[in-house]
Amino acid sequence: MATEDFIASISPAPVEEPESSWGSDPANGADLRFLGVVRGTENGRPILGIEYTCYAAMAEKELTAICRDLLRAHPGHKVLIHHRIGFVSAGVASLVIRVRTPHSAEAFDLAREYLKRIKSTVPVWKTVRFQNA
């Protein structure tokens, strides 16, 4: 889902992909990007990566609802969110949240709020793939 104010997607595409088409924006002095990266260990054991699965339609609908809701509450910002699904290797990002606002304080507050809501309401499941498993 994409409007003038937000892009929200869930797909096997790398997180860099939706970002590449998000041009510059001289209206906003703050551009904050959070990347959620797959860590190399799980409970101390080295892993190859994580397999992410979801009901794509439901997850994308939920992501879109979060964007619409926060844009209504805090008009005037722009946001791009992409959750990668399928297998993501250790050290690679599975989630990007990018927020643009006129000033920095609101960018930090909003990105944090997007992250909190995504974690609590978007239905994505993880399966850890261990090395030599």
Nearest distance, CB of residue 105 and a copy of itself, angstroms? 8
> Which of residues 54, 65, 115, 128 is near a copy of itself by CB under 8 A?
115
3-class DSSP assignment, residue 116: helix
> Which of residues 10, 38, 59, 80 is near a copy of itself by CB under 8 A?
38
Dihedral-angle region of residue 112 (phi above 0 means left; psi in -120 to 50 means alpha; beta otherwise): alpha
> Which of residues 7, 10, 81, 107 is near a copy of itself by CB under 8 A?
107
> What tokens does 77 get?
């910002």
Which residue shows structure tokens 């930090």? 108
> Which of residues 40, 65, 87, 117 is near a copy of itself by CB under 8 A?
40
Beta bridge partners of 70: none
> What tokens does 43 get?
């409970």
> What tokens does 61 get?
């609908």
Cβ closest to a copy of itself, residue 30 vs residue 56: 30
Q: How far apart are CA 31 and CA 79, in angstroms?
A: 10
Q: Which stretch binds a copy of itself (CB under 8 A): 4-12, 76-84, 100-108, 125-133?
A: 100-108
The binding site for a copy of itself (CB under 8 A) comprises 24-41, 90-93, 102, 104, 107-108, 111-112, 115
